[in-house]
Amino acid sequence: MPTTASIRTMNHRQVIQALIALMAAFFVLILSGTVVATSLPVIVNDLNGTQSDYTWIVTANFLTMAISTPIWGKLADVFDRKLLIQIALGVFTVATIVAGFSTTAGWLIACRAFQGIGVGGLMSLGMVAIADLVSPRERGRYMGIMGAIMGIAQIGGPLLGGVVTDALGWEWNFFLPVPVAIVAFILIQVTMHLPRHKRKVKVDVVGAALIAASMGLILVWMSIGGKTATSGGFAWDSPESIAMITTGGVLLVAAVLWELFGTKEPVVPLRLFAQRTFALATVASLSVGVTMFGATVFLSQYLQLARGMTPTESGLFTIPMVVGSLLASLLFGQAITRTGRWKGLMIIAAVVLSAGLALFGTIHYDTSMWLVGLYMAMLGVGTGGLMQNLVLVTQNQLPATQMGAGTGAITFFRSLGGTIGIAVLGSLLATWVAEKIATGMQALGPSALMDPACASSLEALRSGTLPHPSELCDPVRTVIESSYGDAIAALFWLCVPLAVVSLIAVALLPNKSLSRKTAVQQLEEELGAEFVALEPIDARGDLAPVEGGAPLPEVGENDEHAGSDARG
């Protein structure tokens, strides 16, 4: 294993090689999700699944990702980060391969849950590894490149998934990312040289168990509460709902008390909330999570049910949002690296996000698609300019000894916001759409309802199933499309206040200069004597910093400001 000295002598080319390995892993994550999404209806049908199974295939992955993220982050402060990244990638890859051999919906749901564990690890650990390799000042340019790679996977995934499903079968959508995952694993082994942490700490097993149990129950309650039994859910006031939220709440209180008073090495270091940057970034991340995962997930329903597009067409029509996010990541990242200024750019992103959501609140089923595409691009610019930079600003203030836990916590709260958004907004959408359809059908009048051409459409509505709008007669189709268009527009209006909260939180962030030290160099300052003692004196004399880093002080040099960049 490389020593701390070998980390600090990595040149620009070596850093790029290590980041390429991480980018390959992130590419696999995004690609595996987007290629499968297109074929999910076919998969559920082939596996004789129900609507409940469909819900859990989507939900299981997201739940385990959210729950596992802070745990992986804390492990990064304790164990070998490179090994943890490889373990997370291995879990994800094995689960993906096994999912391709699924013969029942239950089998696939279990595999998706294990996939989520790997995804949570890679999302959290990848950001920590970047902090080890590149200083906050230089990180913007690399984050922009990573955003571009992820954008390519988002754009190409839906189209590729449709082609593979039609040509080879849905199973190959799971097998397709595996070769890239294997290449990423090898690249990580060869190019990524991260230090082992030599601190003597204990893994907080009790805290991890309490967090997993409490958040698992609460997130499941949010995800399936308010849904019908045929959809795998239960009413909000049902005994199951009350028991689940009560137990989850009690376990959550226990987890908070344990993290505060029961352990010296908490999984989620709650005392970090006393730091202004961490607290405000958490608030902004929650709000951005609701917008990014909650609001945008209903865009596909708008495109398919209010505009009559096919799943593949709706996936391709989200390209403006993906391109907006891609450009914001690239351009904002480059600007931050060149100037060192980040706050103004993040405020601009928050304003664009708020404006985009407000404009989406004006859409109808017949709004010009050029305007819809423009609003999508605005959402992309807003989320692309905020999402990764909130992590960057937080890492710039974190103590290096808590880099993993703090990064995992920020990522977790963003995922938590997404889960809350999907659950609450989805429940509201179902209620509003039902009311609007009922009102619209009454407004059609008896003559339209008795039209023989609409008999099959009316029968489908009475059965509780909703065919594609193109299969409905014109009067009923107009009611369905207008109901979904207006209801989804109302959801976006609800997200506007949350975007404004993000704007306020970003505006209140301390405008601290970005450090030129990597997390490894910061760790050496915080635990300097322990690390310096491990290296030969002549090796210390010739050390060159990573690009964007700063030379370490000579032995015996007393710098009262050492570590200030990390601690804030």
Q: What is the number of H-type helices and E-type strands within the chain? A: 24, 0
Angle at which helices 474-508 and 455-463 cross, to 10°: 50
pLDDT, tens only, 144-176: 666 667 667 766 776 777 778 777 888 888 888
Query: How far is Cα 284 from Cα 559, in angstroms, rounded to an integer?
Result: 34
CATH fold of 272-443+467-514 reads: Growth Hormone; Chain: A; (1.20.1250)
- Mean pLDDT estimate for the chain: 78
Q: Which two tokens stand for residue 457?
A: 């459409």
Mean pLDDT of 345-366: 92
Q: Is 299 buried (19+), middle (13-18) or exposed (0-12) by CB count in 10 A?
A: buried
Give the global pTM: 0.76
Residues in the chain: 568
Q: In the chain, what are the domain boundaries?
A: 1-201+516-551, 204-264, 272-443+467-514
Res. 543: pLDDT tops 70:
no
Q: Looking at residue 557, what is its pLDDT? A: 35
Query: How far is Cα 65 from Cα 109, in angstroms, rounded to an integer?
Result: 14
Superfamily in which the 1-201+516-551 domain is placed by CATH: MFS general substrate transporter like domains (1.20.1250.20)
pLDDT, tens only, 407-437: 888 888 887 787 777 777 877 887 888 888 8
Query: How far is Cα 268 from Cα 73, in angstroms, rounded to an integer?
Result: 9
Q: How many CB atoms lie under 10 A from the CB of residue 218?
A: 21
DSSP collapsed to 3 states, 269-338: CHHHHHCHHHHHHHHHHHHHHHHHHHHHHHHHHHHHHHCCCCHHHHHHHCHHHHHHHHHHHHHHHHHHHH
Q: Looking at residue 92, what is its pLDDT? A: 92
pLDDT, tens only, 290-318: 877 766 678 877 888 888 887 667 777 88
Q: Which two tokens stand for residue 248?
A: 């989850």
Task: Average the pLDDT over each of 109-113, 286-290, 420-424 and give the range with the smallest value.
Answer: 420-424
Q: Which two tokens stand for residue 117?
A: 């564990």
Q: How many CB atoms lie under 10 A from the CB of residue 455?
A: 12
Q: How confident is the model at residue 457 (pLDDT cuts 50, 70, 90)?
A: low
Closest CA to 291 of 208, 195, 359, 387: 387
Contact 11, 547 (CB under 8 A): yes
Q: Which residues pair with 234 in a beta bridge?
A: 225
Burial 377-416 (b: 16+ CB within 10 A, else e): bbbbbbbbbbbbbbbbbbbbbbbbbbbbbbbbbbbbbbbb
Q: Is 225 helix (H, G, I), strand (E, B) or coil?
A: strand
Q: Is 237 helix (H, G, I), strand (E, B) or coil?
A: coil
Q: Looking at residue 459, what is its pLDDT? A: 67
**Phi (first) and psi of residue 234, to 5 degrees:** -155, 160
What is the distance, to the nearest Å, from the Cα of residue 494 to the centroid of all Cα atoms in its chain? 21
Q: How confident is the model at residue 10 (pLDDT cuts 50, 70, 90)?
A: low
Matching CATH topology for 1-201+516-551 and 272-443+467-514?
yes
Res. 387: pLDDT tops 70:
yes
Task: Average the pLDDT over each of 143-147, 295-299, 380-384, 495-499 and give the range with the smallest value.
Answer: 143-147
Q: How confident is the model at residue 131 (pLDDT cuts 50, 70, 90)?
A: confident
Query: How far is Cα 481 from Cα 502, in angstroms, rounded to an integer?
Result: 32
Closest CA to 422 of 220, 203, 265: 220
Closest CA to 218 of 426, 495, 416: 416
Query: How far is Cα 138 from Cα 545, in angstroms, rounded to an integer?
Result: 13
Q: Is 1 buried (19+), middle (13-18) or exposed (0-12) by CB count in 10 A?
A: exposed
